[in-house]
Amino acid sequence: MAAVARTGHAQEPTAVSLTATLSDSAYVYGDASSRTLGAGIEYNEKEPVATSRTTDAQNVPPVIPPDHEARTLIVCFDGTGDQFDNDNSNIVQLVSLLKKDDRTKQLVYYQAGIGTYTSPKVATPFMSSIRKTLDVMFAWNLNAHVMSGYEFLMQHYITGDKICIFGFSRGAYTARSLAGMLHKVGLLPAGNFQQVPFAYKMYARADEIGWEQSTEFKKAFAVDVPIEFIGVWDTVDSVGIIPKRLPFTTSNTIVRTFRHAVSLDERRAKFKANLWNRPNKVELKLGTDIATSTPNPEVPAARPTSFDEPVEKREQPHKPTNGKSNKYTPNLKLPKPTGPPKEDEDDRMLNTFERKYSEKQAKTTDIEEVWFAGCHSDIGGGSVSNKTRHSLARITLRWMVRECFKTNTGILFNSAALRDIGIDPSTLYPTIAPRPPQLPIGTHGIRNPPAKPIPIRPHAFLRKKSQPHPDVQTLLEAARTPFLGSEEEEELHDILSPKYDQLSLKKFWWVLEVLPLRLRYQRGDNEWVSYFGSNMGQPRYIPKQRTNGFKVHRSVKMRMEADYEDEVRRRKGKKYHPKPHFKVEPTWID
């Protein structure tokens, strides 16, 4: 079993590390093995060819793939308030699947979610709890979370390594922010801890000076690094109470593959989906090679901002309805504005600079965003106890693992652990077998949540500070359950699992639904419309359905065909229907 090495320091930040204040929630897995990298496995550059299974399950290597031509650095950011506990997220589950005992082949970094942060600069437990509360509510320490992941890569990256980043909820936004920082300012050589906060400030600064300084800083001190894979679960649209956006969080040309599992049934105002922006042909031609070109002076500058002002402006692709209709017609009964809102103008300028300072020869990102049945924690995990075998979150976890193999990331997985989540490893290695047809529903029905809801984890600031961190891998292995059947059997049970709508289970969430907030949605022509209003539990909006289409996992269709176990619902003929309005038939993904 791999040793767990705690990283960081418990003193005032120094030249050793200015972001080591996340030491209480960050872990690096690996050992000091000196074995050399073996020969890599041959992969098809194109989409893997689906073939029938040729390897007996008993003969599958303990780690698949057994080797790879490049070392992989994996960075994992957990969701808001999430860490290892009795209802783990898919981030913890993913970490438990990975090979972690040979740092020459794979190195894994795990960071607990926003709201578990402890700063050594805070002298008293009371002030520490206040800061944790602010971190939960407003992502107060987002910069520290991003910089901590950046430092891990800075210390361990060598030329030829593959970088893979995963995240859930605000951790997904943190993951995309880290990728954006790597794009805008590059990666510093190992040991440059004092430069990291300065690099982050230049990354966050969105005016003309900030972009020019980032380019010069990158040329002088940093190196360009590609990102092999970003895999995120239900990225939260707004970080904190005010919707904001950091550069390159909605589009990033250094990312080779982007995979996003999105919730169909989440309704809360502060949990709107942050989707990837697919640039059109004109936008793709606007990129400027920052290594050789001078920025076009004709492009107007954005509104200057303070050097320390966070500028992570975020769009919200949603607008409320009248509470009953799924026809997304905004209620814009406000005086006509004389010009675009300041936030809209900032977003336009930020998009302009992102195109302007992106490499002209960058390859197109392989993007796939798939919608799944369930609410926020049903997608990223954490809605049920670890002792509950079947849940909706397991569907998205298996999909993400399969995408890692289909896109040839080279990430090394433990075969036995894959069986625990319902995947037969022989269907993934040495070739990826096609998914067989789904099993019939039969007499099975969608289950209701327990009569007494399983308590959601208390945030870390509500727990005793003296509680030690557990040995994560030991606890996960102790909780393992045997592989019960085929992936299709597992999927059938998971599809029929209850969903956990927090607006129904936790009434205090309605405070933010009733309060008037600035809401936004994106039209089919990519223009953003802003207005001020109340969300009132309205569903998410799926943009550009007719122009771009959208992808939905096949498990959703199967859930829509099932009856409820509840006798009252069944008598009324009620079925599961996704909350958003489907204007066109989706592309069904397996």
Kindly give the confidence (pLDDT) of every residue in the chain, 590 residues in length, as a single tens digit, with 9 standing for 90 and above. 344 333 333 333 333 343 444 444 576 766 444 333 333 333 333 343 333 344 455 689 999 999 888 999 999 999 765 444 566 899 999 999 999 999 999 999 999 865 445 444 444 555 555 554 444 444 457 899 999 999 999 999 999 999 999 999 999 999 999 999 999 999 999 999 999 999 999 999 888 888 889 999 999 999 999 999 999 999 986 555 444 678 899 889 999 999 999 999 999 988 888 899 865 444 444 333 334 334 444 433 333 333 333 333 333 444 444 334 443 333 333 334 334 454 556 666 666 656 666 665 467 899 999 999 999 999 999 889 888 889 999 999 999 999 999 999 999 999 999 999 999 999 999 999 999 999 998 888 999 888 655 555 554 444 444 445 455 444 444 444 444 578 999 999 999 999 999 999 989 889 989 999 877 665 655 565 677 889 999 999 898 899 889 999 999 999 999 999 988 888 888 999 999 999 999 999 99
CA angle 559, 564, 570 (to 5 degrees): 130
Q: In whole angstroms, how far apart are CA 161 and each of 37, 196, 374, 483? A: 12, 21, 36, 33
Strand partners, 343: none
CA angle 278, 282, 288 (to 5 degrees): 90
Instruction: Kindly list the domain boundaries of the chain, sorted by start residue.
Output: 4-589
Q: Which residues contact 296 (CB under 8 A, 6 or more apart)?
A: 288, 356
Bridging pattern class, strands 445-446 and 563-564: parallel
